[in-house]
Amino acid sequence: MFEHLDVNSLLVNYGYWAVFIGCLLEGETILILGGLAAHQSSLRLVHVIVIATMGGMLGDQILFWTGRYYGPRLLPRLHRQQATIDRVSGLIERYPTASIFSVRFLYGMRLIGPLVIGASRLSPIRFSLINLLGAAVWATLFVMAGYWAGEALENLLGNLKPYRLPIFIGVVVVAAGVASFRHYRAKTRAAQSSQNESKATRH
C-alpha cells in the first residue's frame, strides 16, 4: 500500500491546509516544515508565507475577540497563567503597540497575550493592523528558516526526497525538545518568583 503513496501529491493537496490550521493553533513547527516543502518545490514559497500570515492573524483575532467579550470572566480563572497575564498587562500599559507586535514571538504568551490585549479594551482596528504586520514578519521568518534549512540539508545530503520522513520526524522531535525545555524554564522561574514573593510577605 505504502509503495503507491505519493508524498509530493499529499503535500500539494493538503500542505497549504496543514500550514493554515497549524498556524491557527501553534505555528512554528509547521512553518519550518512548510519552508522545507517549498524548498523542495512541493509548495510555493510565497503561498506558504501568505497562508501562514492569514492563519496566524486569524488565530490571534479569535483570541482577541474572546478576550474582549469574555476576558473579565475568563482571565481570573486562569490561575496557573497569572504571572503571564500580569506580564502582558504590564507590557500593554507601557508599550501597547510593541506588545501587540511582539507577543507572538514571546514563549508562553502566544495564547494568553491576545486574550489579555482583548480584555484591555485596546482599539480593535489598531490591534488588527499591528497583528497583521506581526503575523507577516513571524510567518516570513520561520518559513524562510525552513527554506534555508532545506538548502543546507541539500548541500549536505544531496537529493532530500529519500530523507523526507526522517527530516519531518527530526524537526518535530527538535521542536518538542525546545518547547519542553522552555516550558521547564518557565515553570522554574515561576516557582522561584512564587518563593521570593512568599519570603517577602513573611518579612
pLDDT at residue 21 tops 50:
yes
Q: Over pLDDT 90: what percentage of the chain?
A: 21
pLDDT at residue 34 tops 70:
yes
Q: Which of 24-38, 45-59, 74-88 has the highest mean pLDDT?
A: 45-59
Rounded Cα distance, 161 and 164, in Å: 5
Query: Helical H runs in the chain?
Result: 7-25, 28-39, 45-74, 82-94, 96-102, 112-119, 124-157, 164-202
pLDDT at residue 6 tops 60:
no
Residue 98: predicted pLDDT: 87
State the average pLDDT over residues 169-191: 55
Residue 85: predicted pLDDT: 79
Residue 42: predicted pLDDT: 78
Residue 25: predicted pLDDT: 76
pLDDT at residue 171 tops 60:
no
Burial class (CB in 10 A: 0-12, 13-18, 19+), 138: buried
Instruction: Indicate the residue type of 36.
Output: L
Is residue 74 within 8 Å of 45, Cβ to Cβ?
no
User: What is the domain partition of the chain in residue ranges?
Assistant: 2-159
How many degrees, rounded to 5, is the angle at CA 152 between CA 151 and CA 153?
A: 95
**How confident is the model over 102-147, as pLDDT tens digits?**
888 877 677 888 888 888 878 899 999 999 999 999 999 999 988 8
